[in-house]
A and B are shown apart, each in its own frame.
Chain A
């Protein structure tokens, strides 16, 4: 039986370090190659030694597919391709290809230049890695090789995020990456057609949450920001340079305009301009509304939001600052946080998920004393707010996607085990399909049952369809007979006659004759006539002939009668028929009757 194997190297019952291996139809595919934000040691990257103990990965992998530019999905890519070694194709969408190297470089700078780590990938390695990237367009069917094809679907989540459909022969897998089933202020909703994959591998970040309406959350967010500003406090919003940042900027920009607010909004990093420019150039990846109006008014040209300078953090008075990175684990957002943490008038709003081990995660869990580097502690007095703006599908969204794609099996990754367990139960109950949730390093095997494609001769098919009528009758299934010719790599189904002709074979006639003795006082011809009338009454719908040479023919069965010389009452019935299935039934009747 053919089977599909799925092994998460990361993101198995965990968020972060997404990296999933899929073996399908003899092809090995790596889905995402992310790093874990919560670790600084070896656990940061997926354990590639699972694939091979020594040497390069090129010969073990047919392709690598990156779903979107978040580092927990692409952060280990240069390490994998340049340090472990992989020269095969890497697929990602155009926006991902554009933005991914910038985030990687950013990440590298923080790790190497600021923290002084060695044994890390270099700028050159990022460049070399990106040279192996083949851009994907939405809905384009990309033939990786003769058998393996992949197709990208829109996933929402962030600019350029994609779900991928992977197909080998009639087996297929869909990997969602991170996705979002509700459109937001700048992105559209994920969509996939009814592709009925054997396995749907879905993220499950918000497996147990059904989130309230976006409008409420937006109003809440604006209210909190506004209140803090009013009382002269400062608002820090740690974000990733691309993604949520743009959505919140659009939100604040319109709010500032409507309320005529004067407090400055800053966007930290030098990425701002650049980031917004990407959004302008990839406007086709944003939502319907922005795409429609972009000629008149480009939503990514902000009037109220200005570039941040480090010195502004000490300015008196209220302000709103967007700073990177989003989980407060390093960089500018952490610096500003340290400066502002002591004042209870200030506020930090965490608009997204924080992985374990980051300061973001700690303060969200209510920790008020933080241990910093060099044994210093930091008292957290400012208000900490969590607003889930990260665009992941919630439980409702995941169910919605299952309804769209109609998978035969479901596999959950990128979520916490307990939450997955809950969702798994719900999925199995509602859709009556198997749902798996392997841990890292665990292999889940799903047997598939593909049908066998065959070429049928059009004559045979047309003849059969003409006989069968326009609608199949489920009560009386028709049986079609044909001969399957297997020659080299082709499978052809033709009519038996054609097969014989084609293969230069003679048909072999098989005839059976059998004698039945019976006692009957009538004359030979009378007996035969009685048999004839009897058969006629029993076998309605068959051609039954009484021929002049005193034989009865039922279709192709010949019945002859003779009486023995000694005893005219003992008649011998000679039945002769050729090898046919239905004939046998009829013959049986003839025999049993007498």
Chain B
């Protein structure tokens, strides 16, 4: 049993598990932090960005003016942003049987895997994961295709040249494998391979393995997975949350008793309390609006935004923001808001019961109805005419490299009245802001990451008691910036098995048993005998049938009664290696009982002689000698009759 680790990003995992005869990919995360090395893609021509100076090495030997631009001391690639894909060389990805998706953030690399590797398997995901995942992909494609960039920079990727570049470009890994965004066609094709599953649904894979998604409490439809056979159980925990936000609570008890627990997707902000951050978010927002400034919230179009809107719904009146317009701009804004209302089954109990009234589960329906929240597909069109300031704008992409957010950065960056509030934890806000420096706008960092923190996860592990834990190496040591915080790492007994990109781990499994079914006829024919109190044994001679990885035992078909000559032929036909093993005989033959049995069969003339190891019985009438010993019986006779006695 092996685990191939294709991604080094702990929250955007991509692992492949070989379990029994199946090859299972666990998540398909796309590391988008690579885009921070690129220049933003402005929606409308930006004189500032186009005037940035090209980069030439200090000694003038390397001139990459066209590819690299310098801004506030940092160097950026001037090209369409590229993503860091899961490792493709570690194993043949066409051999993957199934891909299990845990949540919509962890499926963004799916088209790269399903479309270009010869993949022929099935992808399993819950309905919200599929629908919202599709929206996020659609949005990403839209962001990229809206502002096509002819130029594709490649020279800087040359190893010799990359070495001479200033950081962080110099330290970027695997730059040759970075890829541009996929097309909508590829997205559609990839998602057509998805088969929908519900929580606790048991899905059989080739009869060998059963997989089952469990609620993980992190986002709409997010799941952890159980991968098990009758005797082995692997739990895959990815992006789980114990906080009460909108999704259904996490199912912890089903994770119990696993042999191996693969742990990914812990919080990226172990020191930031989500509730506190939400408070900071609201107060900073209110402060800026009151001072006449605008608030920009770069965010994904699904997920935490639902909670932010719900929080604002309660906050608006008390903070007298009733007249402030809230805008949500994304090509999928409308769909995201609509979809959130139809997944009642996947929501927490409170929201679920609203549907019974019937009322929409999220209060943003009311915000839209009362015109407090408006959504637009982009800054073009209706928005430009209806747009009023000061206002609050939610828009993507949180990396600030593409999407409508780029426009608002250019528009509002120069005024200190305005505030940008970062809520998504995926990108370092300083790196995100780098190409916009110098910046007058206020920056507030309120990352809201509801995923498990180290305290919660150690409690969880104590509860569910896996035999072994596998996790990204990042979790086995404190974060580099807080190396003294030994509480910000996993400390377990036995210690967790760490992995990094390209690791191949052998999981400590000892498979010893497999499930087999005895057909009723065979089961009825068995004669168990109790050999110790509570323990019975029965010898089983049967024919094994194996089909679709399911094994059954059938009674041996009775050989038709055949004349001796035929019998001989039969025997000859049997190859020697099929000589049947002995039926199980064990223990010593108790003398008294044996004599009684003989007596019952009409053998009365028995002469018993004691020897060193046992007894010799002389059956005079039959002219037979029986030698009884501790571990053997020897019968000397002239016919086969005594055979039947035993």
Contact A585 B556 (CB under 8 A): no
C-alpha spacing A489/B511, complex, angstroms: 20
C-alpha spacing A143/B515, complex, angstroms: 21
Instruction: Collect the chain B residues with CB atoms within 8 Å of residue A282's CB.
Output: 342, 344, 355
Contact A493 B643 (CB under 8 A): no
B566-595 interface code vs A (CB 8 A; 1 in, 0 out):
011001101111111111111111000000
Contact A295 B515 (CB under 8 A): no
Tell me if A505 is interfacial: C-beta within 8 Å of chain B. yes
Contact A295 B538 (CB under 8 A): no
Contact A140 B633 (CB under 8 A): no
Contact A452 B531 (CB under 8 A): no
Contact A512 B643 (CB under 8 A): yes
How far in angstroms is the closest Cβ of chain A from B509? 11
A336-353 interface code vs B (CB 8 A; 1 in, 0 out):
000000000000000000
With A451-B523, A458-B513 already in contact, the answer to whether A515 and B638 are too (CB < 8 A) is yes
Q: How many A-B residue pairs have CB under 8 A?
A: 262
Instruction: Collect the chain B residues with CB atoms within 8 Å of residue A500's CB.
Output: 584, 586
Tell me if B636 is interfacial: C-beta within 8 Å of chain A. yes
Instruction: Collect the chain B residues with CB atoms within 8 Å of residue A516's CB.
Output: 638
Would you give 18 A-B contacts (Cβ < 8 Å), ordered by A? A151-B201, A281-B344, A453-B516, A478-B578, A480-B540, A485-B535, A485-B536, A496-B582, A496-B583, A510-B634, A510-B635, A512-B642, A513-B635, A515-B636, A582-B571, A582-B578, A586-B571, A592-B564
**Other-chain contact of B637, A284, A506, A514 (Cβ < 8 Å):** A514
Contact A455 B516 (CB under 8 A): yes
Number of B residues with CB within 8 Å of any CB on chain A: 93
Contact B518 A452 (CB under 8 A): yes
Residue of B nearest to A515 (CB): B638
Instruction: Collect the chain A residues with CB atoms within 8 Å of residue B511's CB.
Output: 458
With A139-B198, A274-B358, A277-B358 already in contact, the answer to whether A468 and B544 are too (CB < 8 A) is yes
How far in angstroms is the closest Cβ of chain A from B251? 11
Residue of B nearest to A496 (CB): B584
Taking CB atoms and an 8 Å cut-off, the chain A residues in 467-484 that contact chain B are: 467-468, 472, 477-484
With A451-B518, A543-B576 already in contact, the answer to whether A295 and B335 are too (CB < 8 A) is yes
Contact B520 A582 (CB under 8 A): no
Contact A456 B551 (CB under 8 A): yes
Instruction: Collect the chain A residues with CB atoms within 8 Å of residue B200's CB.
Output: 140-142
Tell me if A499 is interfacial: C-beta within 8 Å of chain B. yes
Tell me if A372 is interfacial: C-beta within 8 Å of chain B. no
Task: Tell which of A39-47, A60-68, A534-542 binds the partner.
Answer: A534-542
How far in angstroms is the closest Cβ of chain B from A483? 5
Contact A140 B199 (CB under 8 A): yes
B127-153 interface code vs A (CB 8 A; 1 in, 0 out):
100000000000000000000000000
How far in angstroms is the closest Cβ of chain B from A44? 27
Contact A481 B633 (CB under 8 A): no
How far in angstroms is the closest Cβ of chain B from A198? 13
**Other-chain contact of B537, A137, A456, A484 (Cβ < 8 Å):** A484
Query: Which of A283, A514, A583 is most buried by chain B, counting CB atoms within 10 A of its CB?
Result: A514
Tell me if B360 is interfacial: C-beta within 8 Å of chain A. yes
Contact B523 A510 (CB under 8 A): no
B531-562 interface code vs A (CB 8 A; 1 in, 0 out):
11011111111111110000111001100000
How far in angstroms is the closest Cβ of chain A from B608? 19
With A135-B345, A455-B515 already in contact, the answer to whether A503 and B531 are too (CB < 8 A) is yes
Query: Which of A277, A457, A479, A588 is most buried by chain B, counting CB atoms within 10 A of its CB?
Result: A479
**Other-chain contact of A465, B523, B546, B632 (Cβ < 8 Å):** B546
Across the A-B interface, the 10 shortest Cβ-Cβ residue pairs:
A509-B632, A505-B586, A451-B517, A513-B636, A455-B513, A456-B516, A508-B585, A486-B536, A139-B198, A452-B518
Query: Which of A472, A505, A555 is most buried by chain B, counting CB atoms within 10 A of its CB?
Result: A505
C-alpha spacing A561/B230, complex, angstroms: 56
Contact A465 B544 (CB under 8 A): yes
Tell me if B231 is interfacial: C-beta within 8 Å of chain A. yes
C-alpha spacing A567/B585, complex, angstroms: 41
**Other-chain contact of B580, A458, A481, A506, A592 (Cβ < 8 Å):** A481
Residue of A nearest to B346 (CB): A137
User: A-side interface residues toward B, CB under 8 Å?
Assistant: 94, 97-98, 135, 137-142, 151, 274, 277-278, 280-284, 294-295, 449-459, 461, 464-465, 467-468, 472, 477-488, 492-493, 495-496, 499-500, 503, 505-516, 538-543, 555, 578-583, 585-586, 588-589, 592
Contact B580 A581 (CB under 8 A): yes
Residue of B nearest to A480 (CB): B544
C-alpha spacing A268/B230, complex, angstroms: 56
C-alpha spacing A582/B578, complex, angstroms: 9
Contact A514 B639 (CB under 8 A): yes
Residue of A nearest to B625 (CB): A513
Instruction: Collect the chain A residues with CB atoms within 8 Å of residue B552's CB.
Output: 451
User: B-side interface residues toward A, CB under 8 Å?
Assistant: 127, 197-202, 212, 230-231, 334-335, 338-339, 341-345, 352, 355-356, 358, 360-361, 511-520, 523, 526, 528, 531-532, 534-546, 551-553, 556-557, 564, 567-568, 571-572, 574-589, 630-640, 642-643, 646
Contact A541 B576 (CB under 8 A): yes
Instruction: Collect the chain B residues with CB atoms within 8 Å of residue A515's CB.
Output: 636, 638
Contact B535 A455 (CB under 8 A): no
Contact B520 A451 (CB under 8 A): yes
Contact A94 B583 (CB under 8 A): no
C-alpha spacing A295/B338, complex, angstroms: 6
Residue of B nearest to A1 (CB): B520
Instruction: Collect the chain B residues with CB atoms within 8 Å of residue A94's CB.
Output: 344-345, 352, 355
Contact A481 B576 (CB under 8 A): no
How far in angstroms is the closest Cβ of chain B from A455? 4
Residue of A nearest to B536 (CB): A486
Instruction: Collect the chain A residues with CB atoms within 8 Å of residue B578's CB.
Output: 478-479, 582
C-alpha spacing A461/B231, complex, angstroms: 14
**Other-chain contact of A514, B201, B588, B638 (Cβ < 8 Å):** B638
**Other-chain contact of B513, A98, A457, A509 (Cβ < 8 Å):** A457
How far in angstroms is the closest Cβ of chain B from A79? 21
**Other-chain contact of B542, A480, A509, A586 (Cβ < 8 Å):** A480
Instruction: Collect the chain A residues with CB atoms within 8 Å of residue B544's CB.
Output: 461, 464-465, 468, 472, 478, 480
C-alpha spacing A506/B519, complex, angstroms: 30
Contact A449 B528 (CB under 8 A): no
How far in angstroms is the closest Cβ of chain A from B48? 37
**Other-chain contact of A579, B355, B572, B585 (Cβ < 8 Å):** B585
Instruction: Collect the chain B residues with CB atoms within 8 Å of residue A138's CB.
Output: 198
Instruction: Collect the chain A residues with CB atoms within 8 Å of residue B230's CB.
Output: 455
How far in angstroms is the closest Cβ of chain B from A558? 12
Contact A507 B344 (CB under 8 A): no
Instruction: Collect the chain A residues with CB atoms within 8 Å of residue B571's CB.
Output: 539, 582, 585-586, 589
- Using A455-B514, A464-B544 as known contacts, list a sample of 15 further A-B pairs with CB atoms less than 8 Å apart, ordered by residue number in A: A98-B358, A139-B198, A141-B201, A281-B361, A461-B544, A465-B546, A480-B540, A480-B553, A495-B581, A496-B539, A508-B587, A512-B643, A541-B575, A541-B576, A542-B576
Contact B528 A484 (CB under 8 A): yes
Instruction: Collect the chain A residues with CB atoms within 8 Å of residue B574's CB.
Output: 541, 582
Residue of A nearest to B552 (CB): A451
C-alpha spacing A500/B581, complex, angstroms: 14
Contact B579 A493 (CB under 8 A): no
C-alpha spacing A461/B201, complex, angstroms: 29
Query: Which of B198, B574, B630 is most buried by chain A, counting CB atoms within 10 A of its CB?
Result: B198
Contact B341 A506 (CB under 8 A): no
How far in angstroms is the closest Cβ of chain B from A90? 15
How far in angstroms is the closest Cβ of chain A from B507? 16
Residue of A nearest to B539 (CB): A483
How far in angstroms is the closest Cβ of chain A from B191? 13
C-alpha spacing A135/B356, complex, angstroms: 12
Instruction: Collect the chain A residues with CB atoms within 8 Å of residue B352's CB.
Output: 94, 135
Contact A141 B335 (CB under 8 A): no
C-alpha spacing A274/B201, complex, angstroms: 31
Instruction: Collect the chain B residues with CB atoms within 8 Å of residue A449's CB.
Output: 520
Residue of B nearest to A459 (CB): B512
Instruction: Collect the chain A residues with CB atoms within 8 Å of residue B520's CB.
Output: 449-452
How far in angstroms is the closest Cβ of chain A from B554? 8
